[in-house]
Amino acid sequence: MTKRAVVAGIGHYLPERVVPNSEFEKSLDTSDEWIRARSGIERRHFAAEGQTTSNLATQAAQAALDDAGLTPDDLDALIVATSTADLTFPSAATMVQAQLGMRQGFAFDVQAVCAGFVFAMANANALIVSGQVKRVMVIGAETFSRIMDWTDRSTCVLFGDGAGAMILEAQDGTGDNADRGILSVDLNSDGNYRDILYVDGGVSTNTTGYLRMEGKEVFRHAIEKLAATAATALGKIGLSGSDIDWIVPHQANIRIIQGTARKMGLSMDNVVVTVQDHGNTSAASIPLALSVGKARGQIKTGDLLVTEAIGGGLAWGSVVLRW
């Protein structure tokens, strides 16, 4: 018997305010056409003043609990993947724990920027397969609008705010690829690429900062590394791209998503795409896409999925799971 971390519920939350590309035309030398053509983004959501990452995360978590038919009392742990926590400490995760009314278990944040949800799922999987916990709430939540330089047209048009949440629960499997749940994980990072994607401020440097990015460089690394990590995760269990029902990629740029699918030998019919509606929501993008993909009727019980993401660090990885 093999213990598997199986999806028991999924949900998401997007802030009310929707900002179309045309809004940026008022203050920047940019256009709806440029943003659509270069990124695939048409609109994004921005959090209201005073609305924090833990607020978005709590609403997504509640939606996942409702989907699973569970209550906060049923959870043993809660992980939030974020680079935009409300405060330096305590963690966003403990804030969500309190907002949900969850008094037991433990909560902590994972910070791997846009790859954060993949890293958080890997952590949750390790806690479950080692028998330490039965049920984990895994959340990706961000308010990237707080770290935008609104005068930099090459970055501020690309990002959005939101949250997605998934409940993983221990179930017994047979140990083969027919099992539901997480089947394989691949994680990577290389800190030598710090300068191509970073925030130029933080607590230990006594500064507040904004996101800085060498878009072309990140783009180049993204397609190569995303296809490679997906192939590695699939290869670990004797599978390849052709075995997959759905790629659920980090939603940064439609051209990266298309390039990665092409490299994996899959058509866009096998890809869940939400970047047009959400922009790049960093660690929130994969759980948002999973939740929307399920609601659209794309992702069904038994489907084989690969999720892959890359972000600041660089940090990148993928998770193969059967829904």
**Does position 312 bind ligand ACO by CB under 6 A?**
yes
> What string marks each residue from 126 to 165 as x (binds ligand ACO by CB under 6 A) or -?
---------------------------xx--x--------
Alpha helices in the chain (DSSP H): 22-25, 32-39, 53-68, 92-100, 116-129, 153-156, 215-235, 254-263, 275-278, 285-295
For ligand ACO, the closer of residues 177 and 188 by Cβ is 188
Phi, psi (5° rounding) for residue 267?
-90, 165
Residue 27 DSSP one-character state: T
Amino acid at 294: K
Q: Shortest approach of ligand ACO to residue 279 CB, angstroms?
A: 11
Q: Candidates 30-38, 54-62, 99-107, 168-176 — which segment interacts with ligand ACO by CB under 6 A?
A: 30-38
Neighbour order of strands in the sheet with 106-110: 2-13, 161-173, 135-143, 77-81, 106-110
**Does position 117 bind ligand ACO by CB under 6 A?**
no
Radius of gyration in angstroms for the set of CA atoms belonging to the chain, rounded to a whole number: 18
The SS3 assignment for 39 reads helix
**Does position 219 bind ligand ACO by CB under 6 A?**
yes
Report the residue count for the chain.
323
Q: Candidates 27-35, 201-209, 234-242, 291-299 — which segment interacts with ligand ACO by CB under 6 A?
A: 27-35
* In the block, residue with structure tokens 């270069």: 38
Residue 48 DSSP one-character state: P
For ligand ACO, the closer of residues 35 and 264 by Cβ is 35
Q: Measured in whole angstroms, how far is the alpha carbon of residue 268 from the centre of its chain?
A: 19
**Does position 118 bind ligand ACO by CB under 6 A?**
no
**Does position 251 bind ligand ACO by CB under 6 A?**
no
The SS3 assignment for 308 reads strand
| Catalytic positions | 114, 250, 280
Number of residues that bind ligand ACO (CB under 6 A): 23
Cα 103 to Cα 54: distance, rounded to the nearest angstrom: 17
Footprint (CB under 6 A) of ligand ACO, residues 51-90: none
* Binding residue (CB under 6 A) for ligand ACO from 216, 267, 297, 301: 216
Footprint (CB under 6 A) of ligand ACO, residues 159-198: 197
In the complex, the residues that contact ligand ACO under the rule CB under 6 A are: 30, 34-35, 38-39, 113-114, 153-154, 157, 197, 215-216, 218-219, 222, 252-253, 256, 280, 282, 311-312
